[in-house]
Structures are given as C-alpha cells and as structure tokens.
Amino acid sequence: MIILKIGGSSLTIKDSKKSEVNTTGLLRIAREIKSSLDNSCKDLIIVHGAGSFGHPPAKRYKIGEKFDTCEYPQKRIGFCETQNSVKKLNMHVCDEFIKEGLPVVAIPASSFMTATNKRITDGKLEMFNKYLNKGFIPIIYGDVVLDNDLEICVISGDQLVQYLALNLNPNKVILATDVDGVYNKNPKTHDDAMFFEKFTSLKDLDTLEGTTNVDVTGGMIGKIKELLYLADLGIESKIINAEVEDNIFKALEDMEVKGTVISRGN
C-alpha cells in the first residue's frame, strides 16, 4: 500500500488570499495517478493539504489557540467555516479525480478523529481498509477536529500522513510538495540553499523557517518533524516536487525521481 500526500501548495494558488484551486496542476496530478494505476494495480491512500482553503479561516479564528468560554460561539463558527472550506477543496479534488476515472472516496478527519493538544489521539481506520479491499482510493485531508484540551484544533495533512503510516503499515510514503525536497534553508528565499538527498536530523537545517505561504500547520518544518518521527519507527518517506511533470507518476512507479528521503539510517 502507498500513502501519497499532495501538498495544499500544489493544489491551490499558494499566495492567494482567497481560496483558489490550481486547476491545471490538479488535472495533471490526477492524470499522473491514473496512468500509474493503469500501469499496475496498487492500493493507494491519498492525503491532501488545505492550502489557501484551510489556512486563512483557521488563522483568522485562531483555531488551535486557547480561548475563554465566552468566545466559544465565535470559535465554533470558525471551526465550521474552516471545515466547510477544506471540504470544498476536497470536492474539487474528488470531482477532478473521478472525472479521470479514479475511484476516490472522501473520509474527512473531522467526522471521526479527535486530538489531544493538537495531536490525533483517536480515529479508527478500519474504513480505510474496507474501502481499499473493495478497490477504492480513500482520500483524507487537512481538517479541523475536536480536541480534548483545546476544544478544537487544526490537523495538517502531514500529521495525517504520520498517523495513517503509523497505523496502516504502508510500503511507501510519498509527500509531493512545491519544492524538490528539503534544503538547509528555504530555497524560495535563499538562492544558495543546499539540497539534501537524504535527511536524518533537524540539526541539518540552518534556519527553522516554516513556509512562504500562510500555512498555520508548520510548512516544511512541520512536515519534516512528522516524517522524522516515522523514520524513528523504521518507516522511510520521500518528499518530491509535485510541480515537476511526471514526478508523481515516477514516484508511484518506483522510478528514479529527485527528492529527499527522510530516514534515520545512514
């Protein structure tokens, strides 16, 4: 089984203040996944980020920060607004994927997962296996969930990857984003950033810069932390660039593709 995460920055117009889908990117990605499935049968779970659909409302309502009881009505609406917005992105993604012949079925985190201090602590995954067994592609995305400590919080697509990988034992974990992989500093803002083919420790980073967009869930650092945790448990993952044509296809097909492998080994 393969877990493929498609970053919100590749699916949406990253710097857009309003929610906008990157329609050409989405169509190309759908076709690459379809070509790979046509090539050989594989069990696939797709996770996608929230991009410009999730981060602006989550940030506006400060979802995930402590608040007074009197603020609850406002926070609740913020939760609903964010949940509805990421659901819309997922609808766009599913529309396009189904049009291309991919049998995707959405399993939203907000409908069955809960967190404790922003970490998923409950969420039974048997439906993933049931759908996989029937030949579907389960699809889950960055979302808002109830939190035992903070009432509500945001769960990133990257944390979902970690939780699914931990509990479902995939053969392969691929994260497709908008850069080639991990560098010692943000390659979007530093021309001299050095690329890592293999990444084993946060100490290798020069600066702990998150992301260039309005991400509320940690950007590249958030991603790496989730993946290093998996690496500690012996689950290797690879970050690749979704914006380079055929990269997703190649990664799904086990072909050579530029990217950063996150592992603890040498």
Chain positions contacting ligand ADP, by CB under 6 A: 7-10, 49, 51, 177-179, 182-183, 185-188, 205, 209, 211-213, 215, 219-220, 223
Nearer to ligand ADP, 100 or 215 (CB): 215
Q: Are 248 and 258 in contact (CB under 8 A)?
A: no
Q: Which two tokens mark 93?
A: 């993604």
14 is in an annotated binding site: no
Nearer to ligand ADP, 51 or 170 (CB): 51
**Among all residues, whose Cβ is closest to ligand ADP?**
7
CB 259 to ligand ADP: min, Å: 11
73 is in an annotated binding site: no
Cα–Cα distance, 261 to 265 (Å, whole number): 10
Q: Letter for the amino acid at 117? A: N
Q: Are 54 and 20 in contact (CB under 8 A)?
A: no
52 is in an annotated binding site: no
Q: Are 136 and 165 in contact (CB under 8 A)?
A: no
5 is in an annotated binding site: yes
Nearer to ligand ADP, 131 or 199 (CB): 199
Q: Are 195 and 181 in contact (CB under 8 A)?
A: yes
- Residue 201 sits at φ, ψ, to 5 deg, of -155, 145
Nearer to ligand ADP, 138 or 222 (CB): 222
198 is in an annotated binding site: no
End-to-end alpha carbon distance in the chain: 25
Binding-site residues from annotation for substrate:
50, 55, 157
Binding-site residues from annotation for ATP:
5-9, 51, 178, 183-188, 219, 223
